[in-house]
Structures are given as C-alpha cells and as structure tokens.
Copies of this chain bind each other. A is one copy, B any other.
Amino acid sequence: MPNSALSASSDQLSLSEWMKDSQARIEVALNAFLPGAQQIPADLHAAMRYAVLDGGKRVRPLLVYAAGQLRHADHAELTRAACALEMIHAYSLVHDDMPCMDNDALRRGKPTVHVKYGEACALLVGDALQAQAFLILAEGKNPPARQLKMLQVLAHASGSLGMCGGQAIDLASVGLPLTREQLEQMHQLKTGALLRAAVVLGAVCGNNEFTDNELAALDNYAHAIGLAFQVVDDILDATADSTALGKTAGKDAANNKPTYVSILGLEASKVLAEKLRLQAHEALSVFSNTRRLAELADFIVQRST
C-alpha cells in the first residue's frame, strides 16, 4: 500500500473524502488480516469474513486514524491497531445478535451470522475473531514495549471491566427502571470502552509520552464522544426506520430496554448530544493536530444512520 503518498495528501481531503479513503484502506487491511475463505476450516473462515467485511461505518478505525495524528503514528501500525479493534467490535456484534442475547436477524442490512451460518458457527466466529484481533496486534512492528501497552489497552477495553462488563450490565437491566447515571455507566462500558480504546490506541501508537494533563484530555474527549455516540444511537433508534439503519429500529423500546430517549425524552436527548459534541471539542484544546478528531466528534453527533 502506498502509505506515505496517501498520508501526505490526506490533509487536503474533506472529512467525507478522508472517511471514504480510510474506510477503503481498512477494508483492504481487514481482508488481508483475516484468514482466506479457502483456508481450512473454510466454513468458519467464510463466516468470519462475512461478519467483518463490507460492513459498518468503521467509526472505531476512523478514531484510531484520527488520534494517530496527535503523535504522527506510523500509518501501517495504525491500520493494524484499527483492524484489531474492528475485529473485537465485529465479534461483539455477532455474539450480541445471537438468540440467547438480543436475538436479532438483521445487521447492516444483511442476515446476522447465526441466521446465515447457524448458532454454533456464530459462537465460534466470535471466539475466533477475538483471538485474531489479539494475534494481529501482537504481530505489530512498533517497539515491543509500546506494542504490549497497546495489547493491554485492547484487552482491558474488551473484557469484564470494559465491553463485556457493559453487556452484562445491559442484560441485567432489561425491564428495570434505570436512572440516567446507571444508564450512562452501562454505556460507558458497553460502547464507550472500545471507543475510548480507539482514541488511546491511535495516540499511543505514535508514542506513549503523554502528560497527565494530556491523558485527562484524551479521556475527556473519548468520554464525550462515547456517550454522544450512544445518545445519538438511541435518538436514531426512536426516529429512523429499519431500512435506513440497516438494523431493526425501535427494538430497544420493544424490548423494554431503557434508553436516553425513554429517560430524558427526544428533545433533551438532542440537547445532550450537542452538549457532548462541544465538550469533545473543548477537550482537544490542549493538543495540536486534532482536525480529524474534531470532525469525527461532529460526525458522531450529526450522523443520520
């Protein structure tokens, strides 16, 4: 891949051009980092590729790239970290969609993995994607100590004190009258942990020399966009239709799951999303090279799908 050529010219791209460019690059890399569909066991590999490729907005990879600008991280290593994170995200969707969890048949406009390949295969697809994520990150070419730090960030964000923990709280909260604080805590783990990891992975991939003040700013930015992401998801779930979303809309309400819209109402949710967008911008003020991070905060709040 012509890394340097793309990096040199990418400053001149609009956000939408930069996103398309980055998404295309991630697609190529994910394709290369996944075992081939002909490799044995072929069914499993075909299903892993189905779960990961050709899907989603790649918000987490975009955040990795954007945060990578802070310390001018190597583009190939950012791509690797972005792919590892996206594989974790993809596996979580596969398992989340299974009958014993959300029992969803539609994802990104296509049948979910367990609908297409069967439940047992979906279970293994998720398990194998998690291992693949750690494998490709462990094969990174950054200095080993930095690469280990990145593995720690990914593992912590994925586990019981991160994403899996948030899913467990989510499960336990169905039908319960959550307070806004409890809802926020759940989402800060379930969705926020990987979004924060994206920002930290991108930043640390350049180098690990951040002051406490800078680390706090990264955390504030990630916290704000993580929460904003979920608030906007809840707004879209309540207002958009399934075709536009590529997944079943109105599902949370149907499942009696608490959402920002159900707790705060639609208008107050929109006000909150805008407030979080401004908080994210504010947090970036201690850094230079924050253009894409700032633009992504806008995108996360202003998206329509």
Residues of A at the B interface (CB closer than 8 Å) are 35, 39-41, 43-45, 48, 91-92, 95, 98, 100-101, 118-121, 123-124, 126-128, 130-132, 134-135, 138-139, 143-145, 147-148, 151-152, 154-156, 158-162, 164-165, 167-169, 171-172
Determine the distance from Cα of A90 to Cα of B147 in the docked complex, in whole angstroms: 27
Main secondary structure of the interface of A (DSSP, over half): helix
Q: List 11 A-B contacts (CB under 8 A).
A: A40-B169, A44-B164, A98-B123, A101-B120, A124-B167, A124-B168, A128-B164, A131-B155, A135-B152, A138-B148, A144-B145
What is the CB-to-nearest-CB distance from A87 to chain B, in angstroms, rounded to a whole number?
11
The answer on a CB contact under 8 Å between B147 and A135 is no
The answer on a CB contact under 8 Å between B120 and A134 is no
Determine the distance from Cα of A131 to Cα of B167 in the docked complex, in whole angstroms: 14
* Nearest B residue to A167, CB-CB: B124
* Nearest B residue to A41, CB-CB: B168
**Stoichiometry (number of copies):** 2
Determine the distance from Cα of A78 to Cα of B13 in the docked complex, in whole angstroms: 50
The answer on a CB contact under 8 Å between B132 and A134 is no
By a CB distance below 8 angstroms, the chain B residues around A171 are 120-121, 124
A127: which of B45, B126, B135, B148 is its contact (CB, 8 Å)? B126
What is the CB-to-nearest-CB distance from A46 to chain B, in angstroms, rounded to a whole number?
11
Determine the distance from Cα of A162 to Cα of B145 in the docked complex, in whole angstroms: 26
The answer on a CB contact under 8 Å between B147 and A134 is no
A45, A126, A128, A131 — which one has the most chain B CB atoms within 10 A of its CB?
A131
The answer on a CB contact under 8 Å between A95 and B123 is yes
The answer on a CB contact under 8 Å between A139 and B126 is no
The answer on a CB contact under 8 Å between B128 and A130 is no
* Nearest B residue to A45, CB-CB: B160
* Nearest B residue to A122, CB-CB: B100
A101, A121, A124, A128 — which one has the most chain B CB atoms within 10 A of its CB?
A124
By a CB distance below 8 angstroms, the chain B residues around A121 are 168, 171
The answer on a CB contact under 8 Å between B98 and A168 is no
The answer on a CB contact under 8 Å between A131 and B44 is no
The answer on a CB contact under 8 Å between A152 and B139 is yes
The answer on a CB contact under 8 Å between B120 and A135 is no
The answer on a CB contact under 8 Å between A124 and B41 is no
A35, A91, A132, A159 — which one has the most chain B CB atoms within 10 A of its CB?
A159
